[in-house]
Structure 1
Amino acid sequence: CVRIPESPAIDWFAARNCLADVNFFGHLLASDAVAGELGVAVPEHPDPSFTVESSLTLDGVLAEELVHGGTRSFETTLDQQYGAYARAKRLAEDCRDEIIEDRYEEATLHRTREAWCEWFGDPAWNLTLVAVDRRYRWAWVLVATDDGRLEAAARQASGAD
């Protein structure tokens, strides 16, 4: 979580859901706060393309990533049983509640699957989410990847492994 500095310009672009127009995400991802917390080398000017989404989607995006976000099948990462998807959804809802609370109108979600630094693996498994809280001026950054290869996942899915 990174504090967004006071800035009428940032406020203007955030209110219009066009933070990418001022390279907000490049500055955020290259900041000492993000790079230091992740412990990764970040290019000086990362330039991933983000989609803008409603904060209402945050728990769904997180639950989907928990269930289907890597090279290993869901069955090998969590006991496959009735209610497992519901557990993933509840965990994602808890995360959403911590970030958004009930202030959906005051936050936006931004998503990319681009590898904006060398830490990321295959594009299919990369995820960067940035939740921007306009009231409290926070940017919550969540990154995920998998070290597995897309080809290995395809072989496993086809039963070749």
Structure 2
Amino acid sequence: MRVGAPAARLLAVPRRWNEIDWDEGRPGQKKLVASQKTIAWERVPLSDPALDRYLEQVAATHVHGGYLISRWRAVEYSDTTAWFMSRNRLDEYDLLRVFFSSKVVRKGLAELQVPRKLKRGLFEEQWAGSLCLDGSLAGVIVDGGAYEAYKGPAREAKALAAAAVEALTQNRFADFRVDVSEVAWTPWFHDIAWDHTFVLTDFANAELTVLCITDTD
């Protein structure tokens, strides 16, 4: 830890975000705030033929917009962070604001133009999580953008989306939480009718995957 950084114990071997110690009491507010400043993020390569095939259809149906996708792993974090993550208390911890406020993430997602101050309530947890993610992603290309929509049958779109979800999650559905937003929360979005953001939190690997889609007429 850097000299002068907030006091928060970093784990030599970070606890997985899906490991819960039910006997451990809730950390206080000071520890929570301090821990938010100690998370270190690292970009993770994300490439799979099935995912690429789905994203090709996103590009084909959102011809005046497009998509951005990236995956990030928390490589350093405190036991306080692990306490909130393991209990799926992301909103209480304000994880997405902390994540998108990270200098490393903002630099890696420079094209997204993330505002310096993010409003609360931009994202809503999809309670069915990754179990229904394939349907949501299929709907994005079936409904299409301003001028184009998927030209094949809906069942093919669903199969493409299901294969993409398998690439993203390895069908470890219980390990994932999905948060969604349909608003233009950064200037990258065109703010008309075709804005989508999906954030997948992988509790087993302490990773966040961000997929943003937009289009305009």
Fold match by TM threshold 0.5: yes
* 1:146 corresponding residue in structure 2: 215
Which is further off, 114-123 or 14-23? 14-23
- Paired residues of 1:2 and 1:34 also in contact (CA < 8 A): no
Q: Distance in 2 between matches of 1:20 and 1:57?
A: 21
Which is further off, 31-40 or 86-95? 31-40
Q: Distance in 2 between matches of 1:43 and 1:3?
A: 21
* 1:13 corresponding residue in structure 2: 84
- Paired residues of 2:197 and 2:212 also in contact (CA < 8 A): yes
Q: Distance in 2 between matches of 1:34 and 1:131?
A: 17
Structure 1 unmatched ranges of 5 or more: 149-161
* 1:66 corresponding residue in structure 2: 141
- Paired residues of 1:20 and 1:50 also in contact (CA < 8 A): no
Q: String of CA shifts for 1:130-157, please: whole Å, max 9, x gaps.
A: 0100001110100001122xxxxxxxxx
* 1:131 corresponding residue in structure 2: 200
Q: String of CA shifts for 1:41-98, please: whole Å, max 9, x gaps.
A: 2211223521112221111111011111422252xxx43x5xx212211111111111
Task: Tell me by how many angstroms 1:120 deviates.
Answer: 0.7
Q: Distance in 2 between matches of 1:39 and 1:73?
A: 24
| RMSD over equivalenced CA pairs, Å | 2.1
1:120–1:56 CA distance, 2 compared to 1 (3 A):
same
The amino acid across from 1:126 in the alignment is D
Are 1:2 and 2:75 counterparts? no
Task: Tell me by how many angstroms 1:115 deviates.
Answer: 1.6
- Paired residues of 2:183 and 2:191 also in contact (CA < 8 A): no
Are 1:26 and 2:133 counterparts? no
1:34–1:55 CA distance, 2 compared to 1 (3 A):
farther
Are 1:121 and 2:190 counterparts? yes
1:30–1:70 CA distance, 2 compared to 1 (3 A):
farther
TM-score relative to the length of structure 1: 0.76
Structure 2 unmatched ranges of 5 or more: 1-70
Q: Distance in 2 between matches of 1:13 and 1:69?
A: 37
1:25–1:62 CA distance, 2 compared to 1 (3 A):
same
- Paired residues of 1:50 and 1:110 also in contact (CA < 8 A): yes
* 2:159 corresponding residue in structure 1: 90
How many residues align? The count is 142
1:93 is paired with a residue whose SS is: helix
User: Among 96, 113, 135, which residue is 1:41 paired with?
Assistant: 113
* 2:10 corresponding residue in structure 1: none
Decide which structure has greater helix share.
1
The amino acid across from 1:51 in the alignment is E
